[in-house]
Structure 1
Amino acid sequence: MGGASSSKQAAQSENPTFFTQEELNKLKSDFVTGGVEKVKPLIDKKVAELDNTELNIAVTGETGTGKSTFINAMRGLRSTDVGAAEVGTWETTMKPTRYPHPHLPNVCYWDLPGIGSTEFTAGRYLKEMKFERYDFFIIISACRFKENEVKIAKEIKRLGKNFYFVRSKIDVDFYSIRKEGKEINEEKELKYIRNDCVRKLAEAGIPTPTVFLISSFEQDRYDFVRLNEALENDLPNAKKSIFVLAFPNRSVEIIQKKSKELMKRVWMLATLSGAVGAVPVPGVSLACDISILVGGIISFRKCLGLDDASLQRLANSTGKPVEELKAEVKPPLLGKIDKNVIMRLGWGATVVAISAMELGLDFVPVIGSIFGAGSSFLMTYKILNDALKDLTESAERVVKVAFGID
């Protein structure tokens, strides 16, 4: 995480996080008049808000465009995994079907019935899909966008919500061309496909549309990463955070982005620990709330894909033995997290003088360097900060081994 100065610079660019300026001002005034006990309710509320924020993403398009495959890809699942959306060349979705994220159940993808199927005409579709419940829409086509997709886009726009045109199965297009023995310039072909889609949408009444060209099986190619970045950038703070944490672990860059989001939560959990007061562990003079530490580390581990279920899914999808991936996780962060693990993580903190300046905490909203060395806030902050750093490094090593990244 670097020294105090680098931590300060990074944090200053990120804060205030999850709080409005009005809320930050209230935190400051409450702290001055009532100390940490008085700021605890608002921070409690923010932590609960982050835990309970829902993100509902609708995926719609004609039958056979790859909606289910896309939903599985966005959740890091294969079609054979437990909880995966059913994949087929026929109409597999007859009503809006909810698919929660494997470890962030408040992030839900909704597979909507194919537009224009015999069961759902476009007019009836608009009435029955309950568009108001969704945060944004992915409109998928495996060929050219047609009248039905345009009707859906216009209705979404009328509701004041965002929509994104996705042209899927680009890999299938290129495979078919090559099977015919034709030479192909991928860059030129991609430009042609994109321009064709944009032109047709513009002619149908969608001004300056953006179209993302993707393959759900080759997520490191074409526009898959660019699509995720666009979705992320258009979301408000709390929803943006959980969307980032829901990314499948495909690269070191994704791990680092997740770690940055989780770091925003460390000071809030540390403040709650400081409000609760010292709950010592027998044999070790840890001035922290153990339940906050245990819960925080378990949550960080899941978000970084280091729990057993996530590691097994990654092993299945990459063909790597799960034991090989687990070998990259730094002990004692693999396995059960309990007070004994916290004791080992915190042992060094009990014998090293801790100061707010050492940890670069002068950036923290409200708290600053007010707490003295050895306070519950500082102790919890240090343990969570160190655990997140170790988990991040472990997750980076796991991804490198899983995908053969140098």
Structure 2
Amino acid sequence: MGGASSRNQEGETSDCLENQTVESSNSSFFTEEELKKLKSDYETGGVEMVKTVLQQKVTELDKTELNVAVTGETGAGKSSFINAMRGLQVNDEGAAEVDNIETTKEPAGYKHPNLPNVCFWDLPGIGTIKFPANKYLKEMKFKKYDFFIIISHCRFKENDTKLAKEIKRLGKNFYFVRSKIDNDLDSKRRGGGQFNEEEELVKIRKDCVSKLQEAGIPTPSVFLISNLDLHLYDFSLLNKALEGDLPCIKKSVYILALPNLNSDIVEKKRKELKKRVWMLATLSSVIGAVPVPGVSLASDISILIGGIIHFRRCLGLNDSDLERLAKRAGKSVEDLKAVITTPLVGGEITPDVINRLAWGVAAVTISAIELALDIIPVVGSIFGAGSSFLMTYKLLNAVLHDLAENAQRVVTVAFRSENDPNQTSVQ
């Protein structure tokens, strides 16, 4: 009986490796070669053989840095963009200073409030006396950044195109962002006469693209955004472009760092986090394979607690996240918390919390079986490995689903229009 259970669980682990192979071209954490080796090692030596690789990959996920450079002329909206990307407003703790005079004298780094390995860099405007265009990238320590956002609040200037050409020559990606689009549209509306927002957006975008082409940028992509309302205009298109260009792990880090603006972003986060579940479950099964009574029980709970805390932080469900979101959306934090139905939000995640989720009963049952089978070390070890994997895998999946569903409800309430109470998402 124990052997059959073990074979079933090993099959689930192998299936997870197969699924990751299928997803390897779509932001998997592993290269195709790494996945083939993992699967081969697992089939020949079981979970022990893949333990070190998985532990290293989990550590890599937590420590991979993403450095985003944001540059443009004075008053272009660099600081506001950086704050918006981190879900902050100008008066929030840690926010970048916003002003219409050049406040950036040196590159200034602003870490993400939940993911400190993600940093947005506010660079001084190119072409100033201190930073002439021909020395700009060297002075800015070009190699540090994963990509560049070049921002303008009107037309892109000669220095912007010079910078783009140099960035391209040196092999990094850049993206033109036309900020303060809301101001342009408001000005048109107040001007009187017929006004069509979509037509005006097309006109602005075409004008930016044509001017950049005239300056020698053959196929520029220009994204129109409002720092005050990131969920509007071209922000989703900008994200799609960035995600498509980033390597797999950095892409995942970027997605998890996005502010929760709509249901699509929350769903993307859920998919990224789910890729971590099978790794944690496999590590749990390695620990469960240790033939020491009680070891797997304590370790499984520790893995669960760590996973829940990470999921909650990435999905923006900590109290500080909810307060910032409520402030940004112009809602009360009580309104957001009113739609949260899970006990996993709003307090410390402890073994007692896990027990209240009925983990305790299942874990004690498995632990008792492990103790009974320890008189036959081989059988006991195999069954422990299988049951630990299955238990952790299923519970973390259920927890992630629960937290993502609650994050979806929070986002819906935050950005639902008062004139459209049935609205379910913001595009």
Q: TM-score category by the smaller chain?
A: 0.7 to 0.9
The alpha-carbon distance between structure 1 residues 287 and 82, as it changes in their structure 2 partners (threshold 3 A), is closer
Q: Is the 8 A contact 1:287 1:374 kept in 2?
A: no
Q: Is the 8 A contact 1:286 1:379 kept in 2?
A: no
Aligned residue pairs: how many?
383
| Shift of residue 338, structure 1, vs aligned partner | 0.9
The aligned counterpart of 1:96 is: 107
Q: For residues 150-189 of structure 1, what are the structure 2 equivalents within 5 Å?
A: 150-189=161-200
The aligned counterpart of 1:302 is: 313
Distance in 2, Cα, partners of 1:374 & 1:321: 46
- After superposition, the CA RMSD in angstroms is 2.7
Q: Is the 8 A contact 1:252 1:400 kept in 2?
A: yes
Q: Is the 8 A contact 2:110 2:121 kept in 1?
A: yes
Identity %: 65
| Shift of residue 264, structure 1, vs aligned partner | 0.4
Q: Is the 8 A contact 1:36 1:271 kept in 2?
A: yes
| Shift of residue 318, structure 1, vs aligned partner | 1.9
| Shift of residue 214, structure 1, vs aligned partner | 1.3
Distance in 1, Cα, partners of 2:344 & 2:176: 41
The aligned counterpart of 1:338 is: 350
User: Where does structure 2 lack aligned partners over 5 or more consecutive residues?
Assistant: 1-11, 367-381, 417-422
| Shift of residue 301, structure 1, vs aligned partner | 0.3
Distance in 2, Cα, partners of 1:374 & 1:275: 9
The aligned counterpart of 1:14 is: 23
The alpha-carbon distance between structure 1 residues 262 and 65, as it changes in their structure 2 partners (threshold 3 A), is same
The aligned counterpart of 1:380 is: 392
Q: Is the 8 A contact 2:68 2:148 kept in 1?
A: yes
The alpha-carbon distance between structure 1 residues 245 and 53, as it changes in their structure 2 partners (threshold 3 A), is same
Distance in 2, Cα, partners of 1:60 & 1:163: 10
Query: Structure 2 length normalisation: TM-score?
Result: 0.83
Distance in 1, Cα, partners of 2:383 & 2:20: 18
Code of the aligned partner of 2:108: T
The aligned counterpart of 1:233 is: 244
The aligned counterpart of 2:54 is: 43
Distance in 1, Cα, partners of 2:392 & 2:290: 11
Code of the aligned partner of 2:179: S
Distance in 1, Cα, partners of 2:243 & 2:397: 25
The aligned counterpart of 1:357 is: none
The aligned counterpart of 1:202 is: 213
Q: Is the 8 A contact 1:278 1:286 kept in 2?
A: no
Per the alignment, in what secondary structure is the counterpart of residue 375 of structure 1? helix
Question: After alignment, is 32-41 or 54-63 more displaced?
Answer: 32-41
The structure that is helix-richer by fraction is 2
Distance in 1, Cα, partners of 2:301 & 2:313: 18
Distance in 1, Cα, partners of 2:302 & 2:332: 33
The alpha-carbon distance between structure 1 residues 234 and 349, as it changes in their structure 2 partners (threshold 3 A), is farther
Distance in 2, Cα, partners of 1:286 & 1:319: 44
- Correspondence for 1:392 among 394, 397, 404: 404
Per the alignment, in what secondary structure is the counterpart of residue 201 of structure 1? helix
The alpha-carbon distance between structure 1 residues 102 and 10, as it changes in their structure 2 partners (threshold 3 A), is same
Q: Is the 8 A contact 1:60 1:137 kept in 2?
A: yes
Q: Is the 8 A contact 2:285 2:386 kept in 1?
A: no
